[in-house]
Each structure stands twice: as C-alpha cells, then as structure tokens.
Amino acid sequence: MIRGKVFYRGEFIEAGIEVDGGRIKKIGKLVKGKEVRGVILPAGIDVHVHLRDFDEAHKETIETGTMAAKYGGICLVVDQPNTRPVVDSEKVYFERMEKAKSDVHVDYTLNLALTNSNFGEIAGILEKIRSRYFVPAVGEVFIQHSNDNLQIRYETLRLAISNLKNVLLTIHAEDPAYVDTGFPNFRFRKKEAEVFAVQKCLTISNFHFCHISTRDAAERICNSDSTFEVTPHHLLLSTDDYRRLGYAVNVNPPLRSRDEAEWLLKHFHMADILASDHAPHTLEDKKSGAPGFPGVETMYPIFVHLAAMRIIRFGDLVEKIASNPARIFGFRGYGEIRVGNYANFAVFDLKNVRKIRAEDLHSRCDWTPYEGFNAVFPDKVYLKGTDVLEVAEPTGEVLGAEFQNYKKSF
C-alpha cells in the first residue's frame, strides 16, 4: 500500500505496509507500495478530549472535534463525560454514542461520569452500557469542580471503588482546600492542590491521573502502581505566557512556573501518556474565565517537531501518544504499526515545518494557545487503511461491545 521510513518495533526501518480489510497484513522491506516522503508513525490516540456538543454545540461538536483530530494525526479519541447534560446514566450515554455514530471522522469512545448522585449505582449503569458499547474508563473523576455533583469526596471515591471491579478510573486531582477563585487562576489554584490530592488518592487505590502539572505529583505517581498523563500546555507553556495569552490563560490545573514546565518536558519519558485535554471554549467564554485550551489538532504535530529537533525521542513520543494509551485503556488493535493491528498510521514530512495559525485549524472554538508555534502536520492520516484527509464525510466508528473481554488489573 505505502512504503517509507516506518517506526516499527521501536525504530525506523525502510519498509512497505500491506493492508487487507482495514488491518495490517504485512510489513517488510520487500513489500511494495507508494513511496511517501517523511516518516510513518502510528496514528495517535487522545484519551482526554472534551467535545462539548449537546447544550454547548456552539463551542464544539463531536463532528468538528473529530475532524480536528484527524487533521492532527489522531485516529481515536476518548470523550469526557462532564458535558451538559452530564453523561452519568445509560440513557445519556446511549444518546451521545448514537449521535456520534453518524458524526465521527475518527474512531470514538466515551467515558462515564462518577458523581455524588450515581456512585451507588455506577456498577449497574456500567453493566447496562457495556452490553452495547465499550466504556474505556470511569472519568474524568473530579476531586475539585465548580459543579457540586461532580466534585467527589475522597470517601465517596472509596465507596464507589468497592462496587467496581476491573474498572479504570481517571482522576482530576486538585484538592478543594488549596483552591480559591480569582483571575488568573494560577495565582489561586496552588500546586499543593494537585500534590495533596494525588497523595491522598494513592492511599485509596490505583488510578490513572489526568493532566499532571507538577514535579512532586509526577514523582509520587512514578513510585506507585498508578499511571498519569501530561498535556502539551503544561510542558510547553507557563505562567510566563500570561502576558501573551491574557484573559485566555485559565486552564485547570493551571499553568505552572517555567521551571516546573521545563522539568516536565525534560522528564517526558517518565509520563505514561500524552493527552491534549482538548477543552474548546470560545474567546467570549475565555473572557468570562472559562478554563481550558483546545489542542487535539496541534498536539501530535508540535511533538513530532520536538522529536525532529531531538528535544524528545521519537520512541518516547510513540509510546506516550499511541502504544501506552492502547495498552492502559484496553484498545485492542490500536497503538502500534504491527501485523494484525488496524492500519492506523500518519505520514509526517519532517522538513515541512509550518507555523500554527488558528485560521488553519478545524475546531469550532476558533483559537489556539499555540499561535505561531512550529509544527509538522501530517500529510496523510490512515484510519483502517483509508486516508481520511482525502475524505470529507465522517468515516470513523464508535467502539462497541466487542472490546468487553478486556480486563483491567487495577
């Protein structure tokens, strides 16, 4: 099908990839195909996106968010449940997944919310949903949130876990005792909020921690059996960017000091996953203090450029954006370019470096905190053997119940 410099088994090799029925049939030096310029990497998996829709369709829809994902080299997204309305029941879950079936440009799945209202019934809700769909995790579980029903107490978390077996919980770890209101929020949401919440959660169970932004929290998780993700903004931006971003600066957890961000980037290899935490608010929303940055389209291109510049290693990038998300969340057939897996890969011409411009992106929110950053966007993105950049209509799928034989060891 195609030939080029393929990232295969931890290194680049000159090879061709043969595809049959949407899966990789053969990889080898003797396999013929169309020559492509650049490198062929596994298509990314973004395990943390907020695609809005429902009552917030003016900010983003499942359709526009997954379109942005495909242009960023992402083949699968995991949507978060803190929508309006919240995805906290089988009824709302089914409604959102049915909507996604006709709207997704890449493959799609959805986490279920754990709230103060449903924690006693969460196991039963999961059982009903899993008769039809794959639920990768219960998350994003908020230790701190402005919505009282979404802000989980530690004791509630402990009680919920007693009813859940072989289920991955993803945690937004910020302790309310260290969080105050104010702008810019990095002056009011202390880093101790994250560190203390992580420390407390680790005494309860093992979790997957979302968007870790501090060295202390990262080191504590690394000394446990839990996993964690980092975001581009916590590695590449800092409180120094307040002058540039102005009213758009708020994100939860907030941006940290330059020293903190530089440490996280230098120790990128310690993280388990790179995820965008794509949170598309309009600039009008940002003027009112809404926290969050869009990023599903820019994440992979920025980090491919960093790898080409040898600031990070390609092996670490592929691990964090593809193979580890597939392994940790149980996405069989995704994550690596290997025989039997889905033919999901992206072609990046490392010489085609360009500046990020909001006007070139596809998210409905219509802005980016990475304006002017250098990036290498993919020339081709294959989803189950089809170059989706050449297809205008949605061609992705929602993940169904066939994934349910996956068992999490947590």
Mean pLDDT across the stretch 275-294? 97
- Known catalytic residue at 88: no
Instruction: Please choose, from the candidates 6, 134, 37, 118, the residue with its C-alpha nearest in 3D space to the C-alpha of residue 348.
Output: 37
**CA–CA gap between residue 6 and residue 13 (Å, rounded):** 5
What is the bridge-based pairing of β-strands 34-42 and 345-348?
Answer: antiparallel
Q: Does domain 43-336 have CATH number 3.20.20.140?
A: yes
- CA 54 to chain centroid, in Å, comes to 20
Backbone angles phi, psi at 151, to 5 degrees: -85, 105
**Structure token pair of residue 257:** 């000091």
Threshold 0.85, pTM exceeds: yes
**CA–CA gap between residue 167 and residue 267 (Å, rounded):** 28
- Per-domain boundaries in the chain: 43-336
**Segment (H or E) for 229:** strand 227-230
Active-site entry in 103, 107, 272, 277: 277
pLDDT band at 404 (very low <50, low <70, confident <90, very high): low
Instruction: Please choose, from the candidates 112, 114, 160, the residue with its C-alpha nearest in 3D space to the C-alpha of residue 132.
Output: 112
3 state SS of 163: coil
Q: What is the pLDDT of residue 410?
A: 35
- CA 231 to chain centroid, in Å, comes to 8
Of the listed ranges 92-106, 353-367, 396-410, the one predicted with least confidence = 396-410
Mean pLDDT across the stretch 272-291? 97
- pLDDT tens readout for residues 22-64: 999 999 999 999 999 999 999 999 999 999 999 999 999 999 9
Mean pLDDT across the stretch 262-290? 97
82-118 per-residue burial string, b: 16 or more CB within 10 A, e: under 16: bbeebbbbbebbeebbebbeebbbbbbbbbbbbbeeb
What is the bridge-based pairing of β-strands 386-387 and 380-383?
Answer: antiparallel
Q: What is the pLDDT of residue 237?
A: 98
Count CA atoms closer than 13 A to 2's CA, side-chain side: 22
Query: What is the maximum span of the chain, computed from C-alpha positions, in angstroms?
Result: 61
Of the listed ranges 154-168, 257-271, 342-356, the one predicted with least confidence = 154-168
Cβ 357 vs Cβ 290: under 8 Å? no
**CA–CA gap between residue 127 and residue 136 (Å, rounded):** 13
Tally the residues of the chain.
Answer: 410
